[in-house]
Chain A
């Protein structure tokens, strides 16, 4: 079974509107972390936001927020007030266990296109 599932093939959003990018995960470890990274066409990987499994509140970073639903094992990224520069590929990733020997597992990514 895939540990990180991103099934949306491609997303389109009108500039200035909000968009949700879906991510579901699978783990039996009670301690884990979820990350979202952005990859623009230039190729670099940019960290956006992090949610720990024990965090009581949903993470927010500027226009990015994470809709964390632990029971459903979902960690959807919400981008508010989309901008043309948000057009990119977005990856969800999971760290299982504590930081000591943990690694990240990435999903396959979602392409987001922002229309003017």
Chain B
């Protein structure tokens, strides 16, 4: 099955460390997204990319950076992690040609910053 995968699935790190979360997809989709989920706040968009050369900030991009290494890979970096970045992170993909823009989600990465 074509899929969206995220690595790692769980990560505990310390304040000040650099962390990279990776997302890969075999769906052949051109659009990719990074969200974070906090209890009571739903999902909030961090960054999104409509193709390899197109990167855009979302609602809450401060403290994060991204890299779209290929159509199938979209990485999220925390340059210097802080405790309030503890959250569940989701990668998602969608297909440009698809009018309704349904997004397909990876399984999530649970990040804890101590």
Measured CB to CB, the residues of A under 8 A from B are 4, 33, 35, 37, 43-45, 47, 50, 52, 91, 93, 95, 98-109
Contact = CB atoms under 8 A, between A and B. Distances in A.
A103 B45 contact: yes
Contact of A102 (B44, B92, B101, B107): B101
Contacts of A106: 35, 42-44
Contacts of A95: 100-101
Interface in B51-109: 58, 88, 90, 92, 96-105, 107-108
B101 A104 contact: yes
Contact of A33 (B35, B41, B100, B104): B100
Contacts of B90: 45
A99 B108 contact: no
B102 A35 contact: yes
B48 A103 contact: yes
Interface in B4-50: 33, 35, 40-45, 48, 50
Q: How large is the interface on B (under 10, 10 to 19, 20 to 34, 35 or more residues)?
A: 20 to 34
Contacts of B97: 99
Most buried by B among A4, A98, A108: A108
A68 to B, nearest CB: 14
Contacts of A37: 105
A103 B100 contact: no
A99 B107 contact: no
Given A43-B108, A45-B90, A50-B102, A100 B42 contact: no
Contacts of B43: 45, 91, 93, 106
Nearest to B94: A99
A104 B88 contact: no
9 contacts: A37-B105, A43-B108, A43-B110, A44-B108, A93-B43, A99-B98, A101-B50, A106-B43, A108-B40
